[in-house]
Amino acid sequence: MGDLPFEKIKREILLKKEAQTSDKFGFYPENRTVEELMQFGVINIDKPAGPTSHQVSAYLQKILNLDKAGHSGTLDPNVTGVLPITLNKSTKIVQTLLKAGKEYICLMHLHRPVEEFELYKVFEKFTGKIKQLPPIKSAVKRQIRERRIYYIELLDIIEQDVLFKVGCQAGTYIRKLVHDMGQELKVGAHMAQLRRTKAGPFNETSLFTLQDVSDAYYYYKEKKNDKFIRRVIMSIERAVSHLPKIWVIDTAVDSLCHGASLAVPGISKLEAGIEIDELVAIYTLKNEFICFGRAKMSSLKMMGEKGLAVKTDKVVMAPGIYPRFNR
């Protein structure tokens, strides 16, 4: 079974210093109200064939009466599957999902039959670094760029129809991958169907349709039953769960909420293996997501006494939830 790069990493948690969190400030994510979830939440939509990703996001915004919603990773109208949509203030973290690895199941139609062993050879050749020229109809500048294919697994063959699974770097064009593999096989090929099965930390186990969301919201608003809407909306912490984590003491939280960078003395614990310039997620000791930023030192260095650990990038938590620390 193929794994995206972050799924292979098993990180040890390093305790820098013992610290307690006060129940007077903040909330454990599981204790948030539905209204708070709709401000700081994400829904993993099972995108249907037909509408664009932008239209699906707009439909969801209308269903939940949101100020804004943002999808992570555009799917072509006829492509189905995993489409995480961030709600209201959670839209700040869309970029972290856009850059996360993706997985697809693709039905490739070969223009002439080939032997199965030839498919395996081509799959092996196209695993690793590849070069792609984006299609004419694309949202990016049309120039050759390098992308990484993490794995390609053959699932089934029926005559000239080949079903395979592919894990790839964000920004990989599967339609172009299929075309290029067809050229390599010297028979030609085109993409018949495509479904996304993973987008960063989201997969098919947590999918909901737009109708599911509409029904859940109806039960919440009209029947005063929040059981279903809580199942549908996941906390923002789920959306950044693929990033390396750092937990800070209570007195360090508010300065981060104001955009300050994280200094080493504010760290309580952290995951091992963090490298310089790696994107990391910063949490309270109640596991509330505060912000993300770029590591300015490794995990090993962060276990030291002083220095700038993380330069803050995007802040999600509002100031004033935790007390301001006065020196």
Q: Just list the catalytic residues.
A: 76
- Give the C-alpha separation, 266 to 263, whole Å: 6
Question: Of 239, 246, 313, nearest to 29 (Cα)?
Answer: 239
- Give the C-alpha separation, 283 to 244, whole Å: 11
Tokens of 193: 């169907």
First to last CA, the chain: 52
Q: What is the DSSP string of 121-188?
A: HHHHHTSEEEEE---SS-SS--S-EEEEEEEEEEEEEETTEEEEEEEE-TT--HHHHHHHHHHHHTS-
- Give the C-alpha separation, 286 to 25, whole Å: 10
Strands 189-199 and 80-87: parallel
Note whether 157 and 165 are within 8 A (CB). Answer: no
Tokens of 55: 């239209």
The residue behind tokens 């859940």 is: 216
Question: Of 21, 120, 14, 15, nearest to 321 (Cα)?
Answer: 21
